[in-house]
Structure 1
Amino acid sequence: RWRIAAAMLALLVAAVSVLALGQGLKVVIDNGFGSRDAAQLNATLAFVIGVAIVMSLATFTRFHLMMSTGERVIADIRRAVFGHVLTLSPAFFEATRTGEIVSRITNDLTVLQTVIGWGLSMFLRYALMMAGAAVMLVITSPKLAALTLLGVPVALVPILLIGRRVRRHSRESQDRVADVSAYLDEALHEIRTVQAYGHEQQDRRHFGAHAEAAYEAGVRRVRDRALLIASVMLISFCAVGVILWIGGHDVLAGGLTAGGLSAFVFYAAIVANGAAATSEVWGDMLRAAGATERIVELLETRPTLVTPAHPQTLPARVSGTLRIESVQFAYPGRAEPALDGFTLAIAPGERVALVGPSGAGKSTVLALLLRFYDPQSGCIRIEGMDIAQCDPLEVRRHIALVPQDPVIFAASVAENVRYARPGASLHEVRAACEAAQALEFIERLPQRFDAQLGERGVRLSGGQRQRLSIARALLADREILLLDEATSSLDAESERAVGVALERLERGRATLVIAHRLATVQKADRIVVMDRGRVHAVGTHDSLMREDGLYAHLAKLQFLDISA
């Protein structure tokens, strides 16, 4: 608040200084040149220089405070928008491209930053100077002031008419820039696939089309802004010319001094220049309005998962009892259910494997357990509590996940492993990596645990990334473990070693495994065979093979050597 108050005070001082220069000009012409008094001329010059110094200091203060305040406001908005995005459900990210979200948080807020810092300051400056100049016009010559004020409504016409088009085209321009960001984000993230398939030429063409669309939208916006500024300038300075002509006749008739006319023209020029500058700033504000609409849309997007006003609280440590009761679930926008009356109970310390063809609903079970979605009917219970009545963050604090596609961030080895427990010591990180058979390749990195892994872990092999993901789950030390083909990227020797570490981790914990490989499935206490969102069969490996049903069929196709 004090920064804004100080900036407004500096703005007032600078505006008064500019207006004082007009009176200095009047005195110089009437008393300096007219009286041929050198001392008077020197005194007037000293006054003008003093006013100019005060004006420059006030301008520096105003510009610095307003721009730094704008930086602070944008940083706060950017944090708020990003924090809100993190609360949105996976369904939102399935329907919205990542580059579009990035564009709103970066490009749109940069446009808004220009207005909050510079644009708003200049708008207030010119508005205050125009108001002060209008008062001085009345004091200097009421007759000419009245003629000047008659031209103000005429200058407002293009602002009102063209301004609407500027705002519409500004929104369109921001949308096209977002398309460019979205395509760029996708192409660069998948650059290896682009190059592997020789798709560079097609991507250049597609990106060029997006860039051209952004250019054309920008040109339409710039054309309307140029028309707005030129119209206001034409009206304003034509009015000044007419007033100068009328004032010149008054000077010839003796009704106005030359100094008075000079001061009047000075103030009229301030009004005209202010009108032109204000129209330009107004164009920036209209562009920012389009960007603001996109930001507000993002902020107004509500998470599809609703946290109850008074959520149930899970114990600090749960035993791992899980029950999935008659769950019916279909993904947003899809008619066919991913789970259809699915029921499953898991006891503490039990290891259950989910097996089935692609699209059977295995990954959907994990997504519902993590409460990325809520089922349309039925419920999921942890320790007997319906997780739909719990805070999603509270539910996820008891679950460790090792996904099929390991997620590695552009950070160091230690920071990636610590992701689940930011406060873990380096000794604990090292122990988790050793248990996950990751220590052997970490020790070969130039900076070991401080080595930067690059975006999405591009400096590691697929197996190395998976082992770091397992180390992260080991370090998390949570009561419920979800493994989505956790060992799929490991060689046979590493898989055996990691299997021993996972067996230690699974003791006393409920473990749900999505698996296709025989070695993983055979170790499960129970195997649940899924098909089309339903439980098709339940049993051990041997009992399911004897039934010679879907499980036996999948085993023969995918991982069993019949001859063995």
Structure 2
Amino acid sequence: MAISSKSGFKTLLQLWPFLLPYKWVLVGALAALALTAGTTLTMGKSIQVLIDQGFIGESLDQLNQTLIWMFVAVIFIAGGTFARFYTVTWLGERVTADLRQAIFSKIITLHPSYFEENRSGEIMSRLTTDTTLLQSIIGSSLSFALRSFVMMVGGLVMLFITNIKLTLIVLAVVPLVLIPIMVFGRRVRTLSRKSQDSIADVGTYAGEIIQQIKTVQSYRHESFEEAAFSREVEKAFTVAKQRILQRSSLIAIVILLSFTAIGTMLWVGGYDVMHGNMTGGELAAFVFYALLVASGVASVSEVLGEVQRAAGATERLIELMDEESLIQSPKAPQPLITEHAIHLELDDVNFQYPSRPDTPALSHVSVQIKTGESVAIVGPSGAGKSTLFELLLRFYDPQQGQIRLNGTDIKALSLDDARHQIALVPQQPILFSSDVWHNIRYGKPDATDEQVKAAAKAAYALEFIEKLPQGFDSYLGENGVRLSGGQKQRIIIARAILNDANILLLDEATSALDGESEFKVQQALDKAMENRTTLIIAHRLSTVKNADRLIVMDHGEIVDIGTHMDLMQTSPLYQKLAERQFED
């Protein structure tokens, strides 16, 4: 979408749906702004009366009345400023929280291929850095700019009321001020977008190195990575310097032109006072309003740079919000048939990963899997075994062919219904940075403590969990870094057992276990597989010899199907795999 052609303020207007629920808070802030601005604008006339009638006219009563009014006005200004600052800051925090929630809700629904094509650090930068920038703009800078703009317009009106000739002198400089604002504003916005992208690059690089710290240290690459990170930081700093230079130039030019106009106006006003064409109080009031206008122009021009920065951040956020997931539930999903003789069916399925469109991952795959059947999928690396699981979970959709669950095309079912039928035990166990309760209960969030413990016991994980420092309350660290590979895998298996799905997908579920743990977990899996349809990816054929059927895959195609004994007689590829393993 062509957001870049829009002005900064027009881009920020796309945040209006997030402001709309709090329109009355916004109205309150505007009312407080009107109160403070209106009261401040009366101060100029008070100064005029104070000088002309109080000082020059030597009227003590007038002096007292004017000073009392000015004191009351200051109280109104202080109270209004408090109300405006509180409501606007609250609004910035609230809108930013809602925006972060909306973006996160969007991110977790996007198709997996989106995360293949976009770096996680870049996405995290949008969720954190960009939203923090908007929080500053909405909760502070934009309010300041609006106040300055109101004071600038109000001051101009009062200038005309006070003295038309001097006002025309001030207005003659306005076009000279607006031109640099427009020119530098565009440059600042472009550089702001570039700056945000470079900051995201820095975060992405650092995140990847931290995640792979053991690899970095084992290859003694600390110095190399330090130098590489330094280059990324300097690249971001170079872009930031260009942005700062443009903003600084804008502010300096605006201030120079504004105060040049004020100096000229003061000379003309002083000349008129000396010749009796205007009073000293009138000149003082005019100077007061002129300073309000000049400071308003300078403030608005300064905040415009922040607005352009925010526009760049908003563009990035709106792009993410507008991203459509390729995998979605149908608008009118069909109900899931609960019982069917054929639990899963692939009908002439062809698939290429979006990131590798020229490389077939599956070619003309057709197979039927009966309800309650255990089927092992074997073959060399890259044969398409894991791809098959990803299609069954509908992480991707095939370009051709159909996948049916209980006789219904899974694309016609809601994602919740389809995925609720399946529990996955992946080859690489993924744990969350939380305690054991959370990681096992992820399979069934409403499970009781007793159910969680029963699942852990079934996965032969209870014994080592109870030996952890805080048992089930033990914090496991990022991706379970405090556990061994076998322990992590048993936590994952406990999660799948707790899920109690009708279909089990086991992707090398015992590959990370030692001999003793593998025996225990295999017993747990055998029990979990009872009365369930199970698909097992296995490189070690000894673990799947007793499956009801074995599917042999190679280069994305099914080359043979049968029992272990049948395939030993009829499948050259299976014979080759078996001979190699059993000889070892």
Q: Structure 2 length as normaliser, TM-score?
A: 0.94
How many angstroms apart in 2 are the aligned matches of 1:426 and 1:14? 58
For the 8 Å contact 2:560–2:571, the answer to whether it is kept is: no
Instruction: Work out the CA distance in 1 between the residues paired with 2:120 and 2:129.
Output: 14
Equivalence for 2:395: 372
Q: CA deviation at 1:495?
A: 1.6
Indicate which of 108, 111, 115 corresponds to 2:133: 111
> Counterpart of 1:349 in structure 2: which amino acid?
G
Deviation string, structure 1 residues 484-503 (Cα, Å, up to 9, x no partner): 01111122222222222212
Contact 2:29 2:88 in 1 (8 A): yes
Name the residue aligned to 1:521: 544
Q: 2:405 maps to which residue?
A: 382
| 1:344 corresponds to 2:367 | yes
Extract unaligned runs of 5+ from structure 1.
none
Distance 1:216 1:63, change over 3 A: same
Q: Does 1:536 align with 2:564?
A: no
Distance in 2, Cα, partners of 1:535 & 1:350 = 18
Aligned match of 1:187 in 209, 214, 223?
209
1:376 & 1:404 partners in 2: Cα distance? 26
Residue deviations 1:415-458, cap 9 Å, x none?
A: 11111211111110000001111111110112111111111111
- Write the deviation string for residues 106-137 of structure 1: whole angstroms up to 9, x where unpaired: 11111111111112211210111111111111
Instruction: Classify the secondary structure of the residue corresponding to 1:421.
Output: coil
User: How far apart are residue 184 of structure 1 and its match?
Assistant: 1.3
Deviation of residue 396 (structure 1)? 0.6
Q: 301-310 vs 88-97, which deviates more?
A: 301-310
- Separation in structure 1 between the aligned mates of residue 464 and residue 43 of structure 2, nearest angstrom: 73
CA distance in 1, matches of 2:575, 2:338: 41
Confirm or deny: 8 A CA contact 2:338 2:406 kept in the other structure.
no
| Matching residue within 56, 69, 93 for 2:91 | 69
Show the 5 A alignment for 1:499-518: 499-518=522-541
Match of 1:389, as an amino acid?
A
Quote the Cα distance in structure 1 between the aligned partners of 2:182 and 2:495. Answer: 58
Partner residue of 2:293?
271
Equivalences for 1:28-427 in 2 at 5 Å?
28-315=50-337, 321-332=343-354, 333-427=356-450
Conserved in 2, the CA contact under 8 Å of 1:438 and 1:464? yes
- 2:26 is matched with 4
Superposed CA offset, 1:486-528 (max 9, x none): 1111222222222222122212211111001233221311111
Which whole-Å CA distance do the structure 1 matches of 2:363 and 2:571 have between them?
24
- 1:560 Cα shift? 1.5
Alignment match, 2:575: 552
Q: Separation in 1 of the partners of 2:235 and 2:31?
A: 44
Unaligned runs of 5+ in 2: 1-22
Tell me, in whole angstroms, the C-alpha distance in 1 between the residues paired with 2:560 and 2:338. 34
State yes or no: 1:494 paired with 2:513. no
SS across alignment from 1:327: strand
In structure 2, how many angstroms separate the alpha carbons of the residues matched to 1:240 and 1:450?
Answer: 69
Distance in 1, matches of 2:578 and 2:472, equals 40
Write the distance in 2 (CA, Å) between the matches of 1:496 and 1:425: 28
The offset of 1:233, in angstroms, is 1.0
Q: How far off its partner does 1:544 sit?
A: 2.0
Structure 2: distance between partners of 1:122 and 1:239: 23
Contact 2:486 2:517 in 1 (8 A): no
Amino acid at match of 1:484: D
Match of 1:357, SS state, is coil
Q: Distance in 2 between matches of 1:34 and 1:200?
A: 76
Q: What is the DSSP-based 3-state SS (H/G/I as helix, E as strand, rest coil) of the residue aligned with 2:424?
A: strand
Q: 2:459, 2:524 within 8 Å by CA — same for their partners in 1?
A: yes
- The answer on 1:480 being equivalent to 2:503 is yes
How far did 1:542 drift? 2.5
Q: Is the 8 A contact 1:119 1:281 kept in 2?
A: yes
Give the Cα–Cα distance (whole angstroms) in 1 for the partners of residues 124 and 103 of structure 2.
Answer: 11
Amino-acid identity (%): 49
Segment drifting more, 461-470 vs 498-507: 498-507
Cα offset, 1:174, TM superposition: 0.6
Q: Secondary structure at the match of 2:100?
A: helix
Contact 1:319 1:508 in 2 (8 A): no
Which residues in structure 2 correspond to 1:402-481 (within 5 Å)? Answer: 402-481=425-504
Change (3 A) 1:146 1:387: same
**Greater mean alpha carbon deviation, residues 18-27 or residues 221-230:** 18-27
Task: Indicate if the aligned counterparts of 2:342 and 2:368 stay in contact, CA closer than 8 A.
Answer: no
Q: Secondary structure at the match of 2:364?
A: strand
**Residue 234 (structure 1) shift:** 1.1
Q: Which amino acid aligns with 2:282?
A: G
Q: Give the CA deviation at 1:305.
A: 2.0
SS at match of 1:352: strand
Instruction: Tell me the amino acid that sits aligned with residue 75 of structure 1.
Output: A
| Residue in 1 that maps onto 2:4 | none
Which secondary structure does the structure 2 equivalent of 1:87 belong to?
coil
Whole-angstrom CA distance in 2 between matches of 1:346 and 1:316: 15
Q: Given that residues 374 and 534 in structure 2 are in contact (C-alpha distance below 8 angstroms), is that contact kept between their aligned partners in structure 1? A: yes
8 Å contact kept, 2:340–2:407: no
Code of the residue aligned with 2:416 in structure 1: it is: L
Counterpart code for 1:204:
E
Aligned partner of residue 349 in structure 2, secondary structure: strand
Question: Tell me, what secondary structure is at the counterpart of 1:420?
Answer: coil
- Name the CA distance, whole Å, in 2 between partners of 1:233 and 1:510: 75
Alpha-carbon RMSD: 1.5
Distance between the aligned counterparts of 2:238 and 2:283, measured in 1?
47
Q: 1:287 to 1:131 in 2, by over 3 A?
A: same
Alignment partners' CA distance in 2, 1:420 and 1:93: 23
The CA distance in 2 between the partners of 1:279 and 1:517, in whole Å, is 69
Deviates more, 1:514-523 or 1:163-172: 514-523
Measure the CA separation in 2 of the matches of 1:316 and 1:406: 30
CA-to-partner distance for each residue in 1:465-494, whole Å, 9 max, x for gaps?
111000000000000110001111122222
| Letter matched to residue 111 of structure 1 | L
Q: Is the 8 A contact 2:430 2:492 kept in 1?
A: yes
AA in 1 matched with 2:409? D
CA distance in 1, matches of 2:39, 2:142: 20
Task: Name the aligned partner's letter for residue 235 of structure 2.
Answer: A
* Contact persistence 1:398–1:479 (CA under 8 A): yes
CA distance in 1, matches of 2:344, 2:541: 25
How far, CA to CA, are the matches of 2:546 and 2:269 in structure 1? 100
